[in-house]
Amino acid sequence: MRAVVKTKPQPGAELREVDISVPAADEALIKVQATSICGTDVHIYKWDNWSQTRIGAARLPQVLGHEVAGDVVEVGRNVKRIKVGDYVSVETHIPEPSDLQTLLGQMHIGENMKIVGVDRDGSFAEYLTVPEVVCWINAPGIPPEYASIQEPLGNATYCLLGEDGDVAGTTAVILGDGPIGLMAVAVARAVGVAKIFVTGLFDHCLDIAKQVGADYVLNAGDQALDRVAIVREHTGGFGADIVLEMSGAPQAAAEGFKMLRKGGRFSAFGVMSESNLALDYNNGIVFKGARIYGINGRRMFDTWYRVRNLLASDRLNLAPIITNIIGLEDFELGFAQMLEIPRQSAKIVMFPNSSLLKQAQNRRK
C-alpha cells in the first residue's frame, strides 16, 4: 500500500509502498477513507527537538498521521465490539490496562498510554491497524472528512466542556485561532456559550472564527489593542467565566489569566514551546479562586459520544474550518499549507482514494 513515511531523522517525509500490517488478536485493520493533518504531524515532519526525543531515529521508518476515518476490513480473533464493515474513527490514545488512570475512567491520560502515529505506525496510508479499544463507530451519515476530524474536534469539545461540562449561558474566551481553536468556537456556539471571544494572529483564521460563531475576534498581534480591557468591558467588568488557552503562546496564557473572572475556569490545552512558564501564581490562581484544567486528548469515550451526537444532528458549523481537501499523494502541499505564515488554511484533510476524494471535493461546492 502507499503510505507517507518518515524514513530518515531529518525534515520531510516520503510517499512509499509499504506492506499492509496484519492485525494482532485484539486489533482491527482499517481501510482509510480520510485522514487529516494535525500539528503533531507537522512537528514530526519538521523533525524538531520534541520529535527527536519523543520518537527518535531508532524507530524509523514510521508512518505519520493519526486523525482518520475508514472501514474495518479485518479483525483479530479476540475483537468483540467491532466487526468487519463498521465505519470507524480512531482515538489516538491507546490505554494501558494496568494504569491506575485506566481503572479510574481517565484512560486518556494514563501513565503509560501510547499514541497512534507517534509510538506506532499511523494513518497517512491506505490501511492502518489499531487496537480495538481505540475504534469508535461513527454515525453512518457523517462524511469522512468530518469523521476524520472528530479527534481534534474532541480536543476542542473536551477543552471547552472541561471536567464538568457546565458551560451553557456563560461567557468564554478562546485564545488561539488554529484549527482546534476554531473548532472550539463552533462547539461553543452550538452548546450555548452566550458570548464568545477569540484571539489569534491570522486574519484568515479570525475570519473563519466569525463565520463559525465568534461574537468578538481580537488580533493578538496588535500591540495597541487592549484585549483584556475589551473582554472585561463586555463581561460587566468582571472578566469571562471561561478561558481556553489553545495557542501555546506565553503571552496568550498571561493575558488569559487576566481575562478570567474571579472564580472562573481556565482550560490549559496549548503546549508551550518552553515548558517552564512564569505565571502570576498569586493573582492569577490563588486570589482569583481559579479552576484550571489541564486538557490532553479527549474523554474515552464520553467526549466522542457527544461529538458524534452533535455531528449526527448537524448542530455544528464546521464547513468553514475544513479549508483543504487533497489527495494523500499531495501531502507535501498539505504540510506546506500547515507551515505557511500568515496561515491561509485551517484544517487539511487527505484522501488516499481518488474517487472518494472527488466526492468530498464535490460536497464542498
Can you say how many angstroms the Cα of residue 340 is from the centroid of all Cα atoms in its chain?
19
Q: Choose the stretch contacting a second copy; rule: CB under 8 A; options: 236-244, 317-325, 332-340, 357-365.
A: 236-244
Residue 84 or 277 having the CB closest to a second copy: 277
Q: How far is the CB of 307 from a second copy (least distance, A)?
A: 7
- Say whether residue 106 binds a second copy (CB under 8 A): yes
Told to judge if 170 belongs to the known catalytic residues of this protein, a careful annotator would answer no
Q: How far is the CB of 329 from a second copy (least distance, A)?
A: 34
Taking CB under 8 A as the criterion, the residue among 22, 103, 225, 339 binding a second copy is: 103
The size of the interface with a second copy (CB under 8 A), counted in residues, is 83
Say how far apart CA 100 and CA 95 lie, in whole Å: 11
- Say whether residue 275 binds a second copy (CB under 8 A): yes
**C-alpha cell at position 334:** 498539505
Q: Choose the stretch contacting a second copy; rule: CB under 8 A; options: 7-15, 201-209, 287-295, 350-358.
A: 287-295
Told to judge if 108 belongs to the known catalytic residues of this protein, a careful annotator would answer no
341 burial via Cβ count (<10 Å: 0-12, 13-18, 19+): exposed
- Say whether residue 104 binds a second copy (CB under 8 A): yes
Q: Of 307, 283, 186, 312, whose CA–CA distance to 244 is shortest?
A: 186
Q: Of 36, 1, 31, whose CA–CA distance to 360 is shortest?
A: 36
Say how far apart CA 310 and CA 261 lie, in whole Å: 29
169 burial via Cβ count (<10 Å: 0-12, 13-18, 19+): exposed
**C-alpha cell at position 84:** 468487519
Say how far apart CA 291 and CA 279 lie, in whole Å: 14
- Say whether residue 119 binds a second copy (CB under 8 A): no
Q: Which of residues 76-95 bind a second copy (CB under 8 A)?
A: 78, 80-81
Q: How far is the CB of 62 from a second copy (least distance, A)?
A: 21
Cβ atoms of 18 and 62 closer than 8 Å: no
Residue with cell 486523525: 67
Q: Choose the stretch contacting a second copy; rule: CB under 8 A; options: 63-71, 75-83, 140-148, 327-335.
A: 75-83
What is the three-class DSSP state of 207? helix
Taking CB under 8 A as the criterion, the residue among 32, 94, 191, 346 binding a second copy is: 191
Q: How far is the CB of 77 from a second copy (least distance, A)?
A: 8
Q: Which of residues 198-217 bind a second copy (CB under 8 A)?
A: 215
Say how far apart CA 332 and CA 334 lie, in whole Å: 5
Q: How far is the CB of 169 from a second copy (least distance, A)?
A: 3
Residue 276 or 362 having the CB closest to a second copy: 276
- Say whether residue 233 binds a second copy (CB under 8 A): no
- Say whether residue 170 binds a second copy (CB under 8 A): yes
Q: Which of residues 311-340 bind a second copy (CB under 8 A)?
A: 312-313, 315
Can you say how many angstroms the Cα of residue 188 is from the centroid of all Cα atoms in its chain?
15
- Which of the residues 35, 40, 157, 303 is marked catalytic? 40
- Which of the residues 7, 35, 43, 204 is marked catalytic? 43
Taking CB under 8 A as the criterion, the residue among 58, 237, 355, 365 binding a second copy is: 237
What is the three-class DSSP state of 208? helix
Q: Please give the DSSP secondary-structure letter assigned to residue 248.
A: -
The sign of the dihedral angle between the CA atoms of 338, 203, 142, 304 is: positive
- Say whether residue 276 binds a second copy (CB under 8 A): yes
Q: Which of residues 12-41 bind a second copy (CB under 8 A)?
A: 25-26
Q: Choose the stretch contacting a second copy; rule: CB under 8 A; options: 2-10, 52-60, 233-241, 332-340.
A: 233-241
Cβ atoms of 324 and 334 closer than 8 Å: yes
Q: Indicate which residues carry an active-site annotation.
A: 40, 43
